[in-house]
A and B are shown apart, each in its own frame.
Chain A
Amino acid sequence: MYPKETKFLVVDDFTTMRKIIRKVLTELGYTNIEESDDGKNAWPLINQAHQNGAPFDFVISDWNMPGMLGIDLLKNCRNDDRFKSLPFMLVTAESEQKQILEAAKAGVSDYVVKPFNSVTLKQKLEKVWSKHAGQKAA
Chain B
Amino acid sequence: MPDGSSNPLMDKRLIVAFVDGVSNILNTMAMTPVKPTKPFIEPSFTVIGDVIGTIGMTSKSWRGSLFLCFSKDSILSIIQNMIGEEHKEVNQEVRDGVGELTNMVYGSAKAALNQLGYEFDMAIPTVITGDFTVSHSSKGVTLVIPFELPNGSLMHVKISVQ
**Docked-complex contact B83 and A114, CB < 8 angstroms:** no
The answer to the question of B114 belonging to the interface, with a C-beta cut-off of 8 Å to chain A, is yes
Categorize the interface residue count of chain A: 20 to 34
Hey, what's the 0/1 contact readout for A27-38 against B, CB within 8 Å counting as 1? 000000000000
Interchain nearest-CB distance for A79 vs B (Å): 23
Given known pairs A14-B103, A95-B111, the reply for A115 and B24 (CB within 8 Å) is yes
Size of B's binding interface in residues, CB under 8 A: 26
The answer to the question of B96 belonging to the interface, with a C-beta cut-off of 8 Å to chain A, is yes
The answer to the question of A116 belonging to the interface, with a C-beta cut-off of 8 Å to chain B, is yes
Hey, what's the 0/1 contact readout for B23-44 against A, CB within 8 Å counting as 1? 0110011000000000000000
Give A13 to B25 CA distance when docked, in angstroms.
18
Residue positions of B touching A, CB distance < 8 A: 24-25, 28-29, 79, 82-85, 93, 96-97, 99-100, 103-104, 106-108, 110-111, 114-115, 122-124
Given known pairs A16-B100, A93-B104, the reply for A115 and B28 (CB within 8 Å) is yes
**Docked-complex contact B96 and A15, CB < 8 angstroms:** yes
**Docked-complex contact B111 and A96, CB < 8 angstroms:** yes
